[in-house]
Structure 1
Amino acid sequence: MLQALDMYWHEDCLKCGCCDCRLGEVGSTLYTKANLILCKRDYLRLFGATGYCAACSKVIPAFEMVMRAKSNVYHLECFACQQCNHRFCVGDRFYLCDNKILCEYDYEERLVFASMAYNASSLAHIRRQVSNLQVCPRPKTA
């Protein structure tokens, strides 16, 4: 027996009004609207809000799994560095910069170039160092 909506139900009788799945088998929550008893997927499909992916600008259905970065929402396959397209794995650091997600390497590279742009003398110093580099011959092996 299952208890839902202040009533008791046989496991075979408590079903989604759309897909007819047994609600006791798909989780511990159910949704009701307009006198319908629904599973989560059908509720979101019928009444959930859709959104748009911050990377590709295509529609994300309400029932689809997503990744979020602050207020931005992404398809799982779109959650990648928007500079080098590196797909993020669990535990990877990412940065939201100018409303784009970046991997750690591209974010740090952007910071270096930004600091050089603000400090022209350091850029000139780096150019002098690079131009003074000498190529050292490889040691000969016997």
Structure 2
Amino acid sequence: MTMDKSQLPKNTGSNNNTPQECAGCGKIITERYLLKALDMYWHEDCLKCGCCDCRLGEVGSTLFTKANLILCRRDYLRLFGHTGYCSACSKVIPAFEMVMRARNNVYHLECFACQQCNHRFCVGDRFYLCENKILCEYDYEERMVFANMAYNPPNIAQLKRHTSHIPKENQMLDPVVVTRD
């Protein structure tokens, strides 16, 4: 439900500009501005959330009603919103909490990290959803290499070709020692 913040019309003596009665306190609205919500008029101070008592005209242009309560968005979601479960830790995510989404999976902000190495993602980082797990780019590529090797194992000739550059044991080079002059 939305509310409108309107300027009180000037009294011109016509019947269309009769003073408005506040739905909250029942008094005539004489202030310059009034709120219109639920097809009624309100003083700015009278239209408040039934739970936290915040002034709804100050927190946005949306209000929620249920069970004869007028509520701000946060309290409505806290009381009546749908909660879900984090795909990483399986704990409850309250409806009013900020979350991260990847396809159909929902995560706490602090749980949105690579589930292999626990790398926390920053804006612009690439991530992959593989077997319903979030992976960083490095762990995803590593997993793909091993999966490819499992499905297409290299033969002996390929292994010899890939390992031919490695020196044999008796051809090992002397280790390099870093010294200070």
Superposition pairs for residues 95-110 of structure 1, below 5 Å? Answer: 95-110=128-143
Name the % identity. 80
Amino acid across the alignment from 1:46: L
Corresponding position of 1:92:
125
Q: Please list the CA deviations of residues 65-100 of structure 1 after superposition, one character each: whole Å capped at 9, or x if unmatched.
A: 111111111000000000000011111111110000
Residue type at the aligned position of 1:119 = N
Q: Which runs of 5+ in 1 are unaligned?
A: none
Tell me which moved more, 54-63 or 123-132: 123-132
TM-score calculated relative to the size of structure 2: 0.70
Structure 1 position 53, deviation (Å): 0.6
Check if 1:26 corresponds to 2:75.
no
Aligned partners of 1:110, 1:17: CA distance in 2, in Å? Answer: 52
Match of 2:89 in 1: 56
1:126–1:9: structure 2 CA closer, same or farther, 3 Å change rule?
farther
Q: Could you list the runs of 5+ residues in structure 2 that have no partner in the other structure?
A: 1-33, 177-181
* TM-score, L = length of structure 1: 0.88
Q: Which residue of 2 aligns with 1:118?
A: 151
**Larger helix percent:** 1
Counterpart CA distance in 2 for 1:30 and 1:66 is 22
- Are 2:80 and 1:47 equivalent residues in the alignment? yes
- Given the superposition, is the C-alpha separation of residues 126 and 82 from structure 1 closer, same or farther in structure 2, using an over 3 Å criterion? farther
Matched, 1:66 2:99: yes
The separation in 1 between residues aligned to 2:62 and 2:40, in whole angstroms, is: 14
- Structure 1 residues 124, 118: closer, same or farther in 2, change over 3 A? farther
Tell me, what secondary structure is at the counterpart of 2:135? strand
